[in-house]
Structure 1
Amino acid sequence: MHDRHWIASRARVAAHRRLSPSGLALWGLLCACLLALVCCLPVRAAESAAAAPAEIHPWVALPLGQVTELPEACLLADLQPGLPPGDAAPWLHVHLPHRWKDTHAGFEGSMWYRFRITLPAAPDAPWAVYLPRVVMNAQVWVNGVALDYTGSMADPVTRHWYVPLLFSVPANLWKPGENIVHVRVASGYQARNGLAPIQIGPVDTVATVYKHRKWAQVDGVQIAHVAMISLGLVMVIVWLRDRAQSAFGFMGASALFWGLSTLMMISPTPLTDLLVWERLSFTATVWYQLALTAFFFRFTERPWPWVDRLVVTMALLVPAYYLFFPRFEITAAIYALIYGMALTGMVAAIGHVLRTRRPDGAWLVLGCALVVPAGAHDVMVQLGSLPFDSVYWLPLAGPSMIACSFMILAGDYARSRQALADLNASLASRVAEREQALRESFERLAALESAQAVSAERSRILKDMHDGVGAHLTSALRQLQGPPDTPVDVPLVTQTLRDSLDHLKLSIDAMSLQPGDVVGLLASWRFRLTPRLKAAGLELVWDVDDLPSWPPGQTPVLRQVQYILFEGLSNVLQHSGATRLVLSARVFDDHLRLSLIDNGRGWHTSPKASGHGLQTMQGRASLIGARLEFLVPAQGGLELRLSLPRTARQPGPALSSAA
């Protein structure tokens, strides 16, 4: 029991001592900075020891065919610029790399460096003098002959402080034995003036070393920072289109200002006055650091109002300070404050990644792991803890960090697009299911509508038979069942039964008519009723043009037309006493005109006072949108004129055909 309590107690202590994700991230960064410091301090100590002056500057023997580094020189301030000073001048023996502040603090102007070398023989090919680092610009003399140089040695001095220089020396300038090489260095605005060890040797071999260093310090940095500016523009555009991505908006702004400040820093020739150029470069540097700080705090997805206010305030005040009151101590303190804010935000962002296991968060950790040691290295170069001619790491690590941040943004949008694609696929699947369900529903509705249409058609046929055939049969039955003392009017009963039979035949014919076939309707009407007309002594004249298809002429509509003509013929047979009947059909622009013209007695009363049959005809005509007229021709008789409009109209419910 005692052992169990002791183990539990030790577990609780271990749990309390366990670091949080933010603590782990902080310890990692501190260890990286400490490692960089430990690695660099011995170099500084060795450099300081090597910088001790010697009383005699020895001659250095240069073997032919090899590149030799010259770490010692004689130094003389150039008080009156002109030709290289002679041996009688008060030369000072120094070790390279040499900073002016170590021997001539506060001196501005130009400085002579003298190198004494011996050659076993004169080279038969051009040699070169290579200056890895000179601040700001340099001119080389070999045995009293000046070599061509790049830029300006007078105010404003060309800013070659981070550009390696290569001077080609013709073979005839060298001589066997003793040779003197002078390097005149011109200072510039706010420059850490000095010279790194130079190298002399065959031009082909030296040029290879020069190209590699120039790529690392100038060409590669320019390409990397142009790419970084491009990535920054992309991230800013993403932020402008999606304001929820404010963190990456700040990272894009940081990339833009970072790239501009670095390109301005390494540019040999400013586009403006040198003082204005330096202030613009400083402002861009401050702004990219503040934007980077804002990115880290926004990346945590937590509100930091005091950080936003501090970043905005410093972004406005620091450039104004540097414009009017530039002091090195205050500037260094401002940089330290901004670096501290950026490191704090970096720790918070890495803690957020570890705590939430954010997707693609490893890219942020990788970018920070590249930038922190690089930043520590460059600060040590600035402070003099590393050799004067060290290559700055941050111009190469910065684009890597921006690329890592862009990978996070790209991962977010890739996951968003994948989620959108999955959602679209899910929606497409659901829509397909709904479409299938709707299709099945429509098929059921179509089947139901078809059944209803069949039922409606059956009901309509039954109604027509009831109102037409049934009415005639009922009339015939009444005629046969008259009073016992009244004889049956056989001709009238016969006529009624014939009407019923004709009505039935026409109803059957109407069921097989093609939609819009008015000529077929008239031909059927003529075929069925011609025998009856002949039996009644009535001549039928066919005067029908070749009619086009009638768009509104669906089967129910054609049936209404058929019934109207049938009722008209019944009236002619029963009331007109005519001997001749003309069936006419004409086509006009807006309607078709169908006419029944007889030569009978015509109207003895007003059509409005007509019986039930004529009212049914008017109702049917109105139902299909047609116009029914009863006209009296000049030669006498009566014309039934039916005008059919050539525009579609849905038919209404069927009407009775009983006359």
Structure 2
Amino acid sequence: MTDNHGVKWMLLMIVALSRALALAGALGLFAAAAVQAEVLEIREAEVSQAPGFSERSAPASGWRAQTLPDDWGRTRPEYGGELWYRIPLDTTRLVQGSQVPAIYVERVCSNLAVYLNGSPVGSGGKLTLPYSRNCFTPQMFMLPQALLKPGVNTIHIQVVGYPLRQVSAAQRSSGLSVVRVGASDELRPLYEQALWWNITLPKVITALLGAFTVFIGALWLTRPRDTYYGYFTLWIGWWTLNTTRLYIIDPPLPGPWIEMLVPATAPLCVSGLVLFLMRFLGRSVGWVNQVLWWQMLVIPLVFLWGGQENVYPLARWNYYWLVPQFILAAIWFLAVSWQVSRRDFWLFSVILLTMVAITLVELAAAFLGLPLKMHFGHLGGPITLLPLCLRLIWLFSDNLRRSEELNIELERRVAEKSTEIERNYAELSSLRAREAVQDERQRIASDLHDDLGAKLLSIAHESSRVDDRGQLAGMARQALDEMRLSVRGMVSEPLRAVDVLADWRAETVQRLAAAHFAADWSAAEPAPGLLLPARMQVQLTRVLREAVSNLIRHSGGSRCRVEIAFPTGAMTLSVEDDGCGMDVAAMGAKGNGLGGIERRVRILGGRHAWQTGPMGGAMLLVRVPLLPDGGGAADAPELASQVHPLPSSNATRPDR
């Protein structure tokens, strides 16, 4: 079931806010209607654009009648600079007694100064280039009783502004609104109401929108993969800055450049909006992305090329290009969200349709002649965007909550898997221990059977046939040596490699000499401190003994060469004779002694091979690995894969 609580709350907030604004507007209009009957509304004046007059010296001639409000964009679109308005005022129509009269101007663009009978009574700021910007700030000045004369008085209003070509919209073209004169107590509600709607409330909402911009930008930095937060920051960030500059009376740049800045950077707003809508639904179209990024680069360059004398025509065609993009993106978003994200459809439909309506009204007022001298977007835009900001923040918090829940669930599953892994590891360790014990039992049994058992059996057979007690004693000593060797493999400590080699050499040379073989022993010097585990020593001792016994019995030769080397991480042993060689055709059979060699080498994790040696006889090659710390051979069979294979690696060879 889809949770629409957040969206419904946003829609209710929009409705409540709209009702509050409508109520405030109705109360304001009622108050204005109540006071308008008490003031003098001036809709007719005289105007002169003769240049070269100072503040106290208004034009003496060249006056002509002018209806107010006077919109320079309609009456004199090419004119820019200073214009004087003259208004005769009958003192009998002003308030009497202790009330202070005042003059109220709802709108003037770009700035004005007011004179009563030639004396200044107030101004909105700078009257020289660059002019102060008061296009949306109402003006109210007191008319001192000391300056009033009996009969007819004269009010001069000096207005300065820019030609239409140097502004970006008709709402900011120069001009003067209707002038009201009356008691200050009666005019002040009108002034404060206009100030509230045009300046104070938009400032508050813009500040709030700016705070949301910073906050959502920070959310985007915490979750860079949610790119729609970044594009939304670009969109409302531009809107915030665009609205903020309207309330800066004296900007650091000339007026035309400030006007150019808005349409030149408008692609940032529209591109950010379109990309936000696409990314919010998880969509991306390559050519659309390219068009949006290119227009953010090209359009500002076009305005720089056109200069300050072509701001208005360039802005018009710029908005004709950008506004359809916004409308098409809104239509596309609503169509897709209806199918894939019904939860967001209703909220976005209210917001987007409201913004489309505001945009069309703004476009008509700016370039199509709609007589509207205020920007709905300054107030309506931020108010419309605030619920969307709240929706994104709620969406972020909801995602954060879901992430925390997933993290808790993930931690629970990890804990379960960790417990399961520990249990399996304990079972595997126990199984390996049992297998190791079983392997060790099998090895001991094999050693006793193959070595000690064979010797005892030989003694039993020979004792009934041989009278030579010395021969029987020798066989018994050999059996005792085999038993001691087996016990040493189980309980002895590691021995130095040099000592093991010395024992091997003494035993091998003695046996070969007794069998009338010439012994050729060659052993490389082992690394200093190299230790061989007892098990490795025992197994290799038996391999060497069996190899020597095999060549003494079957080779038919007279010479034996033994070589031992220590390449990196391994130990090699070769035993070679000059006898009859080996029967390659009989490789399938396996004698008991040679089978023991294979088994012992495999226990040490090594490899062995039989081949014809340089001396013409059989040659046994054995290679076993040493532990990385220089100790001895690995017991685990899996380490055999680390040993380099020997040439012609035959696992077996029959006794000759």
* TM bracket (short chain): 0.5 to 0.7
Match of 2:535 in 1: 556
SS of residue matched to 1:359 = helix
| CA offset digits 1:48-70 (Å, max 9, x no partner) | xx99xxxxxxxx9xxxxxxxx76
Against the structure 1 CA distance between its residues 272 and 235, is the aligned structure 2 distance closer, same or farther, given a 3 Å change threshold? farther
- Whole-Å Cα distance in 1 between the matches of residues 475 and 285 of structure 2? 102
Q: Distance in 2 between matches of 1:214 and 1:328?
A: 23
Measure, in 1, the Cα distance between the counterparts of 2:126 and 2:490. 107
Q: Percent identity?
A: 17
- The Cα offsets for residues 41-98 of structure 1, whole Å up to 9 and x where unpaired, read as xx8xx99xx99xxxxxxxx9xxxxxxxx764487332435335579999999999xx4
Q: Report the CA distance between 1:481 and its aligned residue.
A: 0.6
2:464 corresponds to 1:474: no
SS in 2 for 1:139: strand
- Would you say 1:111 and 2:93 are equivalent positions? no
- After TM superposition, list the pairs within 5 Å mapping 1:327-338 onto structure 2: none
CA distance in 1, matches of 2:117, 2:438: 121
1:99 aligns with 2:78: no
Question: Would you say the 8 A contact 1:75–1:113 is kept in 2?
Answer: yes
Structure 1 distance, partners of 2:481, 2:286, is: 97
Deviation of 1:130 (Å):
6.9
Secondary structure at the counterpart of residue 75 of structure 2: coil
Partners of 2:294 and 2:457 in 1: how far apart? Answer: 106
* Contact 1:121 1:175 survives alignment (8 Å): no
Q: For residue 133 of structure 1, what is the aligned residue in structure 2?
A: 107
Partner Cα distance (1:551, 1:361) in 2:
78
**Aligned-residue offset at 1:332:** 7.1
Of 67, 75, 81, the match for 2:45: 75
Contact 2:459 2:472 in 1 (8 A): yes
| Distance (whole Å) between structure 2 residues aligned to residue 103 and residue 429 of structure 1 | 71
> 1:144 and 1:344, CA in 2 relative to 1: closer, same or farther beyond 3 A?
same
1:184 to 158, 180, 193: 158
Q: Which residue of 2 aligns with 1:193?
A: 175
Q: CA shift at 1:135, angstroms?
A: 1.6
Deviates more, 1:82-91 or 1:356-365: 82-91
Provide the residue aligned with 2:432 in structure 1. 449
Q: Quick check: 1:253–1:288 contact (8 Å CA) kept in 2?
A: yes
Partner of residue 594, structure 1: none
- Residue 216 (str. 1) matches residue 186 (str. 2): no
The alpha-carbon deviation at position 341 of structure 1 amounts to 6.7
Contact 1:360 1:411 in 2 (8 A): no
In the superposition, the TM-score normalised over structure 2's length comes to 0.54
Using the alignment, how far apart are the partners of 1:490 and 1:372 within structure 2?
A: 120
Match of 1:650 in 2: 634
**Amino acid aligned to 2:175:** N
CA distance in 1, matches of 2:631, 2:430: 29
Of 141-150 and 298-307, more deviation after overlay is shown by 298-307
Seen in structure 2, the aligned counterparts of structure 1 residues 314 and 502 have a Cα distance that, compared at 3 Å, is closer
Higher mean C-alpha displacement, 175-184 vs 191-200: 175-184
Q: Secondary structure at the match of 1:461?
A: helix
- Partners of 1:83 and 1:218 lie apart in 2 by 33
Give me the whole-angstrom Cα distance separating, in 2, the residues matched to 1:311 and 1:470: 91
What is the Cα deviation at residue 650 of structure 1? 2.3
Displacement after TM superposition at 1:100 (Å): 1.4
Cα distance in 2, alignment partners of residues 309 and 500 from structure 1:
90
Q: 1:294 to 1:111 in 2, by over 3 A?
A: farther
Cα distance in 1 for partners of 2:456, 2:224 equals 87
From 490, 504, 512, the equivalent of 1:511 is 490
Q: Does 1:163 align with 2:140?
A: no
Output the TM-score relative to the length of structure 1: 0.53
Aligned to 1:278: 259
Cα shift readout 1:477-499 (whole Å, capped 9, x = no counterpart): 2342116xxxx344554554455
Checking the alignment, whether the CA contact within 8 Å between 1:370 and 1:401 is kept in structure 2 is yes
Pairing of 1:32-431 with structure 2 (within 5 A)? 71-72=41-42, 75-78=45-48, 79=50, 81-83=53-55, 98-101=68-71, 105-106=75-76, 109-112=82-85, 117=94, 120=97, 133-141=107-115, 144-146=118-120, 149=123, 151-164=125-138, 175=146, 183-190=157-164, 191-195=173-177, 197=180, 212=196, 215-216=199-200, 219-220=203-204, 223=207, 226=210, 254-255=235-236, 257-259=238-240, 261-263=242-244, 267-269=248-250, 274-285=255-266, 288=269, 292=273, 323=306, 342-343=326-327, 346-347=330-331, 349-354=333-338, 356-368=340-352, 371=355, 392-405=375-388
Deviation, 1:337, is: 8.6
What SS is found at the alignment partner of 1:159? coil
RMSD value over aligned CA atoms?
Answer: 7.3
Match of 1:360, SS state, is: helix
Tell me, in whole angstroms, the C-alpha distance in 1 between the residues paired with 2:450 and 2:400.
69
Structure 2 counterpart of 1:185, which letter?
V
Residue 448 of structure 1 aligns to a residue whose secondary structure is helix
- Contact kept in structure 2, 1:122 and 1:175, CA below 8 Å: no
Q: What residue identity is the alignment partner of 1:75? A: A
CA contact (8 A) 1:84 1:182 kept: no
- Closer/same/farther in 2, CA of residues 481 and 327 from structure 1, 3 Å limit: closer
Query: What SS does the corresponding residue of 1:457 show, helix, strand or coil?
Result: helix
Match of 1:460 among 418, 443, 447: 443
Q: Distance in 2 between the 1:369 and 1:449 partners?
A: 72
CA-CA distance at 1:564 after TM superposition = 10
Q: Tell me how far 1:290 sits from its aligned partner.
A: 7.5
Q: Residues 317-376 of structure 1: CA distance to partner in whole angstroms, max 9, x if unpaired?
A: 999699599798998798689657745654554454455553334442342365366557
Q: In structure 2, do the counterparts of structure 1 residues 310 and 557 end up closer, same or farther at CA, with 3 Å as the change threshold?
A: closer
